[in-house]
A and B are shown apart, each in its own frame.
Chain A
């Protein structure tokens, strides 16, 4: 644990729960202002969902570009302590004086790991690669993804064959410890920022849209991986059923969102995300037909400029209406999309060879300490002094807004730091 009394005469650390883009931002912004920050992430790497995104809207720029800078800031800053594979077990106390217990799962690989890759070559076991939404396999010992930070392998121990030590024997740097055990750490912190983020809504729950039944129905989260150069298709967007280039693609907006049977709220980002993905498809297949079935096109602020430009440049056909049903055509495995065209006042049914469900954002509040207020939709609400929520756990938000929110939460959190310097 880093020295909590270092830096600018301030004492007490802030605890940031969740190492996605909001948590990373919150921790480093506080640390660069001279405050201690402890960042706790449950995955083996920082960056959360954005690490798996192909591009950000509206600039269509690669997320690793900003992550690279942020990770460099963290590595150069002695005031940030990072725990990966870690979760909060309990939190007690009051603003300025909390005691947090974190549980750290074993990584089975130490910081001596050099990423040489020998272990991966000899590992005999393949498991579904969660980073690619399970669309590919990876070895049980693996680097979670190629730009992963910390740059350290990790073992999915439950997949290891009994007694197998091939990786440990292959490692020349003595970096593999297959006997590592779970550990616990008690931290004294002044305040807590909850930045646990979101998960995509489980598309299989939306029976009528065919996800999980028809292989050419994918989610927007999967499409990010299909478009990424380090994804399952090396960046080539292909139909899952036969690996063919899609010729007609339907985006189904509000797949689960704005729906009292699923998520009653609007997930805020899916409209712009689908337009971004339409641009991915058209950049690979200039002839592809793209239709977006939507209720309202919500591209607030300057995103409107991106939306207008993208719709025009990519010939996106917009149909106002909620999709009622997606069915698979036997043989071709093409998909029949039935919807109501509200503006024309009629029902339509069209064939597509790829359907992308714009699934929404579900706040991640499982495992949060007791006493955190949630609103009726499950988002973390205000009203806990000393404990602040930031990013998508608080409301559905695009990356830039989450970052703004996380920077602001850093300020709230440092206000609780005891013995802070008073400047004249």
Chain B
């Protein structure tokens, strides 16, 4: 597109008192060849905005550079439509408010900011939205309490739903229960299981098609156009769906893995076994069928134990209370002992604990059961340590119940992928060492064979990536539904241990996200966190060298490979972070409005004084989500820092291409500072591991630097939180001081 550039410079909010705005305007007119350049004392006021609108309407300009406050301020004022090219140049927070007024260095900074902004705008094209035909049907995998509620509520909102259940009946585990613990006021009595009614409703709903005894055997495609193959004893058929709710639930922790001595005695049952016994009729002793006059519950059987389940299964304390009530219903004189570490009955559930605790024949003791054995009378004796009674105790009872926890019904995506890769290595007849390594991997991961659930046809594996605990990896605090697979949302106990009430609610949330995902796909828009973004990367495949970095590094599995290893991009899976763009050594990946060339142009636009000027230049690449707001915050606090820095915001630090660093250093820029989010186990990157990937790329850069005989200290990556604006002055000034000590970049002037 032929650009007619309009540069609008604001002098308000003390910009005009700090910077020579007229000189900036002259620069815009002469050097930047702006078709129109105007200054205004308050650009965000009605008059200023009206002027820009008039210039756009008359056709005098078609690309707008606004040199005023941060792009995070006055966003609504300077919004001229999603397709209008606008570049915001931050003269307020990051220049006027954070640097010495009317100073040569401040002025040079402002001028560079203008040049960089104009350079960016020159390379920017309006995005052309994706416009494929989108299916709004939603697939729900799993017909337990979460799946049933997701299907029902989605259908009620007007969406067609396919509900797939591998068993012959809906209801999952909850469907087997006689009673559920109280989920409504006054929270003092077990409730009748109301699931049957929901099963009927979902089975009869005109918008829901239920597939019983059916499994997903293949999921190809991308959000808006997943082709899902379902298989049952009638055969298989393929359906097109727009998004997926994964509600595959949980399984009880395998009691055979428990190491408690005596836990395999005949009169020791798990809570799940007890529930099944209770649903079938009165509970009796398994060994002799006699009445149970005393029972002991062992809480946390496997849970809260790093050797088994590191987490708390959340529901077992409440289940135990209910099971105690069921046992008492059939035998009012039964003595019940509950050996717990902590009774976890949060919220209103506390009332239930108190009402069960109040019964004279219920005994709750904090302690650990260290072993179980059978005594001469046929009773099971529990050895309890560290109880409230002080010394270790022996408690003989008729029945012991192990409150085993919940394990997610998920698949080990990364393990399965590694297993498949190893198998492929063997097939391909690679070198001896590779074969040995592959054989080792296969031995380790063989049991993952056939455990796929969604069977995604993704390069990065067949299922949702999971955490060590087996639950899907997500931003589980602020954006708990986000997964690493766009358009696929986990719900219920597969996502976190939770009770049926929470699972039913959670299902609504996941269905909401699934609906949103298809609606946004239909508009060609990205989903969270760049919600509404119409841009997406283009691949100039003729220059691709099949290095596979993009297909491996994409956190969302958006890029598959053909047999040769050429990337096959699935734009509807894409979250527009640009990590692929940063990864590509051939620089063949670019967005219409964000590209390697564009940022390189910004780097090139920085004026680098010669080595005698004593004016170092430091380039900062800042994550626009967190580090950039922190930089703004420093300005808002009027905290001053070295004016030799030039800031380029990036969609994610992971989109940083190392060629920019090479460009910068070869132009004589003295140092490069990367500001990104915290990485590691408690990562804060909105794109999972952008900053971590940038850090890894940096390791490679440092080798290159040493070859060029440039000090590796010229480049640094700092993990910075959005609330750490107060760190900015020190952080920048210290880095500049260190770079100054290294002396000017010897490549200046080359």
Interface residues of A (CB under 8 A from B): 8, 21, 29-30, 32-34, 54, 56, 58-66, 68-70, 72-73, 75-77, 112, 114-116, 146-147, 151, 172-173, 228-230, 234-235, 258, 264-268, 296-305, 308, 320, 342-343, 345, 375-377, 379, 381-382, 395-397, 399-401, 403-412, 414-415, 420-424
Contact = CB atoms under 8 A, between A and B. Distances in A.
Given A77-B532, A115-B73, A305-B310, A62 B721 contact: yes
B686 A69 contact: yes
A152 to B, nearest CB: 11
Chain B interface residue bracket vs A: 35 or more
A166 to B, nearest CB: 19
B516 A115 contact: no
Contact of B508 (A61, A115, A412): A412
Contact of A404 (B344, B505, B633, B636): B505
Interface stretch (B120-128, B261-269, B475-483, B574-582): B475-483
B676 to A, nearest CB: 12
B531 A395 contact: no
A71 B304 CA distance: 37
Contact of A29 (B159, B310, B512): B512
Nearest to A344: B390
Contacts of B480: 400, 403-404
Interface in B345-366: 345-351, 354, 366
Contact of B73 (A60, A151, A415): A151
Interface in B297-352: 303-304, 306, 310-314, 341-351
B531 to A, nearest CB: 5
Interface in B450-500: 469, 471, 475-481, 496-498
Contacts of A297: 341-342
14 contacts: A21-B478, A59-B682, A65-B677, A69-B479, A115-B13, A298-B342, A301-B311, A303-B312, A395-B347, A400-B476, A403-B479, A403-B480, A415-B156, A415-B157
B722 A300 contact: no
B186 interface: yes
Contacts, number: 255
Nearest to A414: B157
A84 B161 CA distance: 38
Given A146-B633, A151-B73, A403-B478, A65 B42 contact: no
B158 A421 contact: yes
B274 interface: no
B136 A423 contact: yes
Interface string B139-172: 0000000000000011011111000000000000
A375 B185 contact: yes
A408 B532 contact: no
* Complex A-B, nearest 3 residue pairs according to Cβ-Cβ distance, in ascending order: A66-B478, A408-B508, A407-B509
Contact of B481 (A59, A63, A397, A404): A404
A68 B348 contact: no
Nearest to A60: B682
Contacts of B529: 69
B497 A300 contact: yes
Contact of B678 (A61, A300, A410): A61
Contacts of A64: 629, 722-723
A299 B477 contact: no
Given A33-B512, A342-B388, A423-B160, A296 B682 contact: no
* Candidate in B476, B505, B527, B726 with the most chain A CB atoms within 10 angstroms: B505
Contact of A345 (B137, B390, B516, B527): B390
B682 A61 contact: yes
Contacts of B684: 59, 61, 65
Interface of A is mostly: loop
Contacts of B12: 114, 116, 172-173
A112 B12 CA distance: 12
A356 B152 CA distance: 45
Contacts of A34: 519
Interface in B431-463: none
B186 to A, nearest CB: 6
B636 A65 contact: no
B254 to A, nearest CB: 19
B295 interface: no
B184 interface: yes
Contacts of A228: 723
Q: Which of A58, A268, A300 has the most CB of B within 10 A?
A: A300
Contact of B346 (A266, A345, A403, A415): A266
* Chain A CB within 10 A, most for which of B14, B520, B531, B723: B723
Nearest to B498: A301
Given A264-B351, A395-B348, A382 B184 contact: yes
B625 interface: yes
A308 B626 CA distance: 29
A209 to B, nearest CB: 20
Interface string B621-638: 000011001000100110
B515 interface: yes
A301 B312 contact: yes
Contact of A229 (B14, B509, B512, B724): B724
B19 to A, nearest CB: 15
Contacts of A229: 723-726
Given A32-B531, A114-B69, A264 B505 contact: no
A95 to B, nearest CB: 12
Contact of A301 (B314, B348, B351, B633): B314
A343 B45 contact: no
B269 to A, nearest CB: 24
A33 B471 CA distance: 26
Given A266-B350, A408-B507, A296 B344 contact: yes
A23 B448 CA distance: 41
A283 to B, nearest CB: 13
B386 interface: yes
B563 interface: no
B653 to A, nearest CB: 14
A137 B638 CA distance: 20
Interface in B550-601: none
Nearest to B389: A345
A324 B509 CA distance: 42
B348 A379 contact: yes
